[in-house]
Amino acid sequence: MNVKELLKECAEHRQAVLATNFYNFETLTGVMRAAQATDAPVLLQLTRSSIDYMGLHQAVSMARTAIADYGVRGWIHLDHGGSVELVERCLDAGFDSVMIDASERPFEENVATTRRVVELARPYGVNVEAELGYVAKLGQQQGGGFTTADEARTFVEQTGVDALAVAIGSAHGFYKQPPHLDIERLREIHAATPVALVLHGSSGIPHDMVQQAIAEGIVKVNLATEIKDTFMRNLKAILTTTDEIDLRKVFPKATEAVVELLIEKYKMVRG
Ligand SMILES: [Zn+2]
């Protein structure tokens, strides 16, 4: 099964796949153990920063090996690909799915860039995700820029993209005010286009609100901030209580906290 088929399967079952970012061996292990424990499929996401940190081929090898070792249904996805050149490198490195994010550019440019990536990705048979509207990046405030149903329909028709990240009130990072998802808008977008819909910035959104979004058409839920936060917060707490220098004894406790977090998140998206 490829990612396009996975997203179709999710749509049929009114479920979503959790798309989790990983940053190192420990966070990858946390993601995989939780996926195994809940028998959930997983999209392992890499951003440019994570690729730069781990190295493209090392990151892909780690993810591929983990998928095989844990025996889970898993795929590798480029998260927020900022350039066609990065997408090309990831396609050549064997990614199963790529996101091109030209959402900060004018509509016509977003269409042209996304269409170019759809064409490049076709021979590889991989899933292509784009973003329309604007989901605030880390440290930014979401101020307007929500996706409209009309624009979504036109965008999908003009690009042939498989999956679309929509701006319906979520934002990257943690929320300063309680998040509110515009479910009515989501319903309209879902009715306007058959494309697979993606929710970015799920960290800190109440689980029942995410489930409502899944009931109205979201099939992929991205999670990053809470994974980093859980790992680092627990690691810091452990380090204040011990002088242990054997990191193989210290890290697993923080990894365990990631496992616990993600078991709940997998349950959330599988219903
Ligand atoms: Zn995102």
C-alpha to C-alpha distance for 140 and 234, rounded to whole angstroms: 26
What's the mean pLDDT when you consider all of the chain? 96
The CATH number of residue 17's host domain is 3.20.20.70
Q: How confident is the model at residue 99 (pLDDT cuts 50, 70, 90)?
A: very high
Ligand 1 centroid to Cα of residue 31, in Å, is 17
Pair of tokens at residue 2: 């490829």
Residues with a beta carbon under 5 angstroms from ion ligand 1: 200
Per the listing, tokens 């616990």 go with 260
Residue 166, amino acid: V
Catalytic residue among 79, 96, 101, 162: 79
Q: What is the mean pLDDT of residues 153-162?
A: 98
% of the chain surpassing 70 pLDDT: 99
* 170 CA → ligand 1 middle, Å: 10
Whether 150 sits among the annotated catalytic residues: the reply is no
Asked if pLDDT for residue 46 goes beyond 70, the answer is: yes
Question: Which of 45, 73, 34, 66 lies closest to 230 in space, CA to CA?
Answer: 34
Encode pLDDT of 195-224 as tens digits. Answer: 999 999 999 999 999 999 999 999 999 999
The two structure tokens encoding residue 111 = 């269409």
Distance between Cα 249 and ligand 1 center (Å): 32
Q: For 103-157, how does the pLDDT look when each residue is reduced to its tens digit (9 = 90+)?
A: 999 999 999 999 999 999 999 999 999 999 988 887 776 666 899 999 999 999 9
Mean pLDDT of 36-45: 98
Give the distance (Å) from ligand 1 centre to CA of residue 205. 14
Domain of residue 66: give its range: 3-270
Q: Which of 174, 218, 225 is nearest to 17 (CA)?
A: 218
pLDDT tens for 232-254 read 999 999 999 999 999 999 999 99
Q: How many domains are there within the chain?
A: 1
Give the position of tokens 């009309």.
Answer: 150
In this predicted model, what pLDDT tens digit does every residue of 173-182 receive, in sequence order?
Answer: 998 888 999 9
Average pLDDT over residues 28-32: 98
DSSP result, the chain? --HHHHHHHHHHHT--EEEEE--SHHHHHHHHHHHHHHT--EEEEE-HHHHHHH-HHHHHHHHHHHHHHHT--EEEEEEEE-SHHHHHHHHHTT-SEEEE--TTS-HHHHHHHHHHHHHHHGGGT-EEEEEES-PPPTTPPP-S----HHHHHHHHHHH--SEEEE-SS--SS--SS-----HHHHHHHHHH--SEEEE---TTS-HHHHHHHHHTTEEEEEE-HHHHHHHHHHHHHHHTT-----HHHHHHHHHHHHHHHHHHHHHHHH-
C-alpha of residue 167 to centroid of ligand 1, in Å:
10
Return the percentage of the chain with pLDDT > 90, whole number.
Answer: 93
